A and B are shown apart, each in its own frame.
Chain A
Amino acid sequence: MDNDEVLRLLGRIERADEAAFRELYRAFSRRLYAYVLRQLGDPAQAEEIVADTLYEVWRQPAKFCGDSQFSTWLIGIARNKVLMAFRSRKPDAVHDDLADVAELVANEDPSAFDILAQQQRHEGVRHCMDKLSNEHRECVHLVFYEGMSLGEVATIQACPEGTVKTRLFHARQKLKNCLQLLLQREGGGRLAGAAS
């Protein structure tokens, strides 16, 4: 759904048109849910945040001016709610594991990329994404799932573009090494087979 259609629906929502709200909701809920679930990993909490985020649209539809993609604007709202959810959680140390992973395997051979491209599976990618830090995971999601530009990611993450580049670089290294390690373990020491 492009911004023109979004603005038309928002105009109807300003007049308390519930049907327009439903249409807008259905158009963006799954993308929003994917983002929140990727960050929190809790389906119930993700559903709650999606509903709360789109309820904000109902309350203040005029806040969106159309100077960015509506999905980017929505993710900005959802991100604040995700950060609130993070604050209420106990810190976990799962992300530290990847520092060790990065030391264990550091294969920069181009053929290693080919093998990963051919053999990595959804489950392995999801597993390694979950191992990333919140900022790195979010960065990868915004770039590869949402297709955002460097500037848009920097806006969402409220950081300089250079920081986004650095986060992407480290996320790339950790993901690659994590996936290689998975393939090595499952393939008995060789890069064969994928986590599935």
Chain B
Amino acid sequence: MKARFDELLPFYVNGSLSDDDRAWVDGYLREHPAAAAELNWYQSLQTQLREDVPAVSSEVGLERALKRIRTEGPAPQRSRRAAGPSLVDRISDWLAAVLPQPVLRPAFAGAVAVVALQAVVIVHLMGQRDDDVSEIRALQASVVDKGPYLKVNFKADAREADIRMLLVEGNGSLAAGPGQLGDYYVRVPTGQVMAFADKLKASGIVDGVAVVDGLPARP
């Protein structure tokens, strides 16, 4: 009994005992009046410890803490918030992480805004297909003209002037070429294709002639 009394008494004095334990201590004190002296001592000890409060301001160390917050402290965590952080909060956090110096943040935010505006303009231009001079047209599929055409290969020693003269004599015009393999594609008036092909084959500057259905797709 005494051992349990000794164990419970400190917590009886500081008021943290459960109701059952408190009732047990009350009963023990009634049965053992001399034990009240020990209770009195504990109560006196508690009073003196609590009265012996250091004579300091409630702001003890506050300036030191604030200095750390302003110089080295990272942004507080936000995990307690039920809803997720707003876009502005996330941008602020990101800026704080990227640029610890607050004075640089407005300039950096301005630069990011300019880049974002440029991106919007570019995307807008990509959507304008009716602009004939737009470079975006190059991304569209090539339109292949239908033939027939004559695919002509000239000899290596053929001169440009002789090639022109030959094409003019047959009412032909250059439609494409020369390609990487030296292929010229010649447009000929309807009904004269085979006749012009024979004329070309007979020329001394032509290496080969073939009738094709259309021009090759542009890369």
Report A's interface with B, CB cutoff 8 A: 10-11, 13-16, 18, 21-22, 25-27, 29-30, 33-34, 37, 43, 46-48, 50-52, 54-55, 58-63, 110-111, 113-114, 116-118, 120-122, 125-126, 129, 140-141, 143-145, 147-150, 152, 165, 168-169, 172, 175-176
Contact = CB atoms under 8 A, between A and B. Distances in A.
B62 A29 contact: yes
Nearest to B43: A117
B83 to A, nearest CB: 13
A141 B48 CA distance: 11
Contact of A55 (B11, B14, B35, B69): B69
Given A55-B68, A147-B14, 17 more contacts: A18-B66, A18-B69, A47-B60, A51-B68, A52-B65, A58-B65, A59-B76, A110-B35, A113-B40, A114-B37, A116-B44, A120-B48, A122-B48, A125-B49, A126-B52, A169-B6, A172-B6
A31 to B, nearest CB: 9
9 tightest Cβ-Cβ pairs between the two chains A and B: A51-B61, A149-B16, A113-B37, A51-B64, A62-B80, A117-B44, A110-B37, A113-B41, A26-B58
B55 to A, nearest CB: 10
A29 B61 contact: yes
B69 A21 contact: yes
A118 to B, nearest CB: 8
Nearest to B79: A62
Nearest to B39: A113
A28 to B, nearest CB: 9
B56 interface: yes
Contacts of A150: 11, 16
A14 B60 contact: no
A162 B70 CA distance: 45
Interface string B63-94: 01110110001111111110000000000000
A61 B80 contact: yes
Given A114-B37, A125-B48, A29 B76 contact: no
Contact of A13 (B56, B58, B66, B76): B76
Contact of A122 (B37, B38, B51, B59): B51
A141 B49 contact: yes
A37 B54 contact: yes
Contacts of B192: none
